[in-house]
Amino acid sequence: METGEFQTRIRAAKSGDVDAFAELFETLRPATTAVAYRLVGPNDAEDVVMDTYLKAWKALPRFNERSSLKTWLYRIAHNCAMDYLRSRGRRLERIMPQDEVDDRDIGELEDPKASLPSAAIEKAETVTAVRGAMAKMDEMHRLVLELRFMDNLSYADIAAAMDVSIGTVMSRLFNAKRKLQRIMREQKQ
Amino acid sequence: MKNMPWREIEKTLRETGRDDVPVRDSDAFWAAFKDRAEGETRNEPAPAPVVLFPAWLKAAACFAVIVTAAALLIPAPSNNSIVDAELSEITAIEVAAAHGEITTDESAEGTIVWVHGLELEDAGPNQIKAFDVAVDHSAVTIMNDESTNSTILWIHGMELK
């Protein structure tokens, strides 16, 4: 969106044009959903996104444009997620999605790698190893890796989503990378 | 499987992306949003403050604040500059290439120096050529973040009082 168009829409949204608000914020919804998903888990993410957008709608007239709209929205998403967890007496911990239970007889199961070429097998093994290692990470470090590499957020946006400083994001990222590599080494042994 | 380099792990994470995050249908989301937003009270911009004080009183108050602040900023004599160092524990830094800016952060278990936007063609762990630190520390790590074209110098366990 070009600057002039952005300014027109934000002015309209600030003065109460809900369609302008929707046009402005729709592009940010997948990333906001990802942030909420990472913070509260799959079951509650949509509720947190809705709360975030309602709060953003109410607060937009006072948005001073000192930070980017995206960073501002992620900060709201963080606050909503924390409110959500508090209201349910939960802490920041996410249940990793489980694979569906396969109730077929063992004889019916085929080797999923049997029909794959060797490069694809290696790729599948890498993905499995990385996912397995991610599942063993503590929440704080897993979250920063997910936001950075899976959701492609900038340091500033991660800082807003996690409510920490940019330096802390860097420190956590560094530790998370080392931890993930260590877990993968241990998995291999 | 051999030990996997970080580059490969990062590539796998990036490729995985947010495939696992389901995003609600746009029309359904905005219809629900509009239903709920309708009638919500919004935080309107604060009205301009009423002028209670004349300009000359404001100028006098500003002058008083400046004089007081200047008096407070004059450092007390000290025999130990390191104890007073606080944010200046890194006393010198030499970087191999042109860069955008340098920022520091002291809140993350040590001091992090972040050199942004290095213009090196061949990024390696040698962009920071030399640095001096004012106090003892337990370890130093230099890392590169190719995605932001930055080098991070992390000084662990600085023991500043």
**Domains of chain A by residue range:** 3-87, 113-188
Residue B139: the pLDDT is 65
For residue B21, give the nearest of A37, A126, A180 by CB distance.
A37
Question: Dihedral (C-alpha) A147, A149, A151, A155: value to the nearest 10 degrees?
Answer: 50
How far, in Å, are A148, A182, A184, B90 from residue A145 at the CA level? 5, 15, 15, 29
> Which of A118-122, A153-157, B58-62, B117-121 shows the lowest mean pLDDT across its residues?
B117-121
Between CA B112 and CA A25 the distance in angstroms is: 34
Is the sign of the CA dihedral B16, B17, B23, B26 positive or negative?
Answer: negative
pLDDT at A146 over 70: yes
For residue B108, give the nearest of A61, A131, A168 by CB distance.
A168
Tell me the nearest-neighbour CA distance from A18 into chain B, angstroms: 7
Residues B96 and B126 sit within 8 Å (Cβ to Cβ): yes
Q: Judge residue A23's burial from the number of C-beta atoms within 10 Å of its C-beta, 0-12 exposed, 13-18 middle, 19 or more buried.
A: middle
Residue B84: the pLDDT is 36
Residues B124 and B143 sit within 8 Å (Cβ to Cβ): no
Mean pLDDT of A91-104: 45
φ and ψ of B95, to 5 deg: -115, 145
Reported as a single tens digit per residue, the pLDDT across B29-70 is: 999 999 998 877 777 654 444 455 556 667 777 777 776 666
DSSP A147: I
Tell me the nearest-neighbour CA distance from B127 into chain A, angstroms: 18
Instruction: Find chain A residues with C-beta within 8 A of B103's C-beta.
Output: 166
pLDDT at B154 over 80: no
Between CA B66 and CA B70 the distance in angstroms is: 6
The CATH code for residues A113-188 is 1.10.10.10
How far, in Å, are A44, A134, B53, B100 from residue A183 at the CA level? 29, 9, 65, 35
CATH topology of domain A3-87: Rna Polymerase Sigma Factor; Chain: A (1.10.1740)
How many Cβ atoms sit within 10 Å of the Cβ of residue A65? 9
Q: Does A95 touch chain B (CB under 8 A)?
A: no
ipTM over 0.95 threshold: no
Residue B137: the pLDDT is 63
Query: What is the strand order of the sheet B110-116 is part of?
Result: B101-105, B110-116, B150-156, B139-145
Residues 6+ apart with CB under 8 A from B80: none
Can A3-87 and A113-188 be said to share one CATH topology? no
Mean pLDDT of A106-129: 65
Whole-number CA gyration radius for chain B? 26
Between CA A181 and CA A134 the distance in angstroms is: 10
Reported as a single tens digit per residue, the pLDDT across A42-63 is: 888 999 999 999 999 999 998 8
Mean pLDDT of A2-21: 89
The whole-chain average pLDDT of chain B stands at 65
Instruction: Find chain A residues with C-beta within 8 A of B10's C-beta.
Output: 149
Beta bridge partners of B142: B153
pLDDT at A175 over 90: no
CB-CB under 8 Å, A150 with B30: no
Mean pLDDT of A131-149: 91
